[in-house]
Amino acid sequence: MKAFVIDIAKCNGCHNCQIVCKDEHCGNDWSPYAKTQPDTGQFWCSVEERVRGTVPLTRISYIPRIGAQTEALREYAGEVLMPREDGLIVIDPEKAKGREDIAEKFEGVYWNAELQIPQGCTGCAHLLDNGWAVPRCVDACPTDALRFGDEDDLAEEIAQATRLDDDSHVYYLNFPKRFIGGTVVDLAADEVVIGAEVYLKDEDGKVVSLARTDDFGDFIFKQVEPEAYRVEIKAHGFGKKALDADAREADLNLGTIDLSA
């Protein structure tokens, strides 16, 4: 069974995967695998940009999205798929004529009103069957953020990955969770506090992580679960400071934290 493994930590947002997908399929009829993709409105591979946090503590995550590669589609409309030993989900454009319901039901599957067919990623099956080792999107990735292969060969990475769809053959490493950060200062002295110990504790008071403020007084806890926490700060010459840090809904910038107050 073929699968994609995407490492978010390696993706720099170049959009090469999205661009070459359009290049491969727009204006090209790869029958019987796929009809031409419209110039606009369809992105069988797309890069989602997520801006996280608030100024001045922000992060941008780039998430390549590959649609249609899900067993849920096989279960829903297996009769319109091309039979393949490698397990790729390939919507047969002839068998799927008139099946707008497929596009309505599955994110990443699009309705081509002109041709009256649903369309989505084929894993570049036409290339794989002609000697290519990987789809165009994977081949064009300059940072090795996108990988493609047999699930058995990728088992170690898959075991650590997450999926946006439990039935998908697209797996994500380092998928963005939450971050909590802030800046520790001594306003009375008009200085930042360097080397302060910052503890991230769960609702039971257990220490989840420990950070120290840097030369700018900043600290950040990365890739934490979306839960409610307590942040406690200790620094020589100051009393302990404690703040609630609820990261259930979004990444959290605690802002400027004054230990002299």
What pTM was estimated for this model as a whole? 0.88
Residue 39: CB partners within 8 Å, gap ≥ 6? 22, 26, 27
Question: Cα(38)–Cα(54) distance, rounded to whole angstroms?
Answer: 37
Question: Nearest 5 degrees, angle CA 162-CA 167-CA 171?
Answer: 30
User: How high does pLDDT run on average in the chain?
Assistant: 97
pLDDT (tens digit, 9 = 90+) per residue, 94-116? 999 999 999 999 999 999 999 99
**For residue 197, which phi and psi values (nearest 5 degrees)?**
-85, 125
Mean pLDDT of 8-20: 97
pLDDT at site 244? 97
* Domain definitions of the chain by residue range: 2-173, 178-258
Mean pLDDT of 229-234: 98
Mean pLDDT of 16-34: 97
Res 237 pLDDT > 90: yes
Q: Does domain 178-258 have CATH number 2.60.40.10?
A: yes
pLDDT at site 261? 82
Residue 238: Cβ-neighbour burial (10 angstroms; 0-12, 13-18, 19+): middle
Question: What share of the chain has pLDDT > 90, as a percent?
Answer: 98
- Among 22-26, 51-55, 64-68, 130-134, which is the least confidently predicted range? 51-55
pLDDT at site 248? 96
Question: Cα(16)–Cα(47) distance, rounded to whole angstroms?
Answer: 9
Q: Is 161 helix (H, G, I), strand (E, B) or coil?
A: coil
Mean pLDDT of 200-207: 96
Mean pLDDT of 238-250: 96
Top-level CATH class of 2-173?
A: alpha beta
Instruction: Report residue 76's pLDDT band, with 50, 70 and 90 as the boundaries.
Output: very high
Chain centroid, CA 178 distance in Å: 13
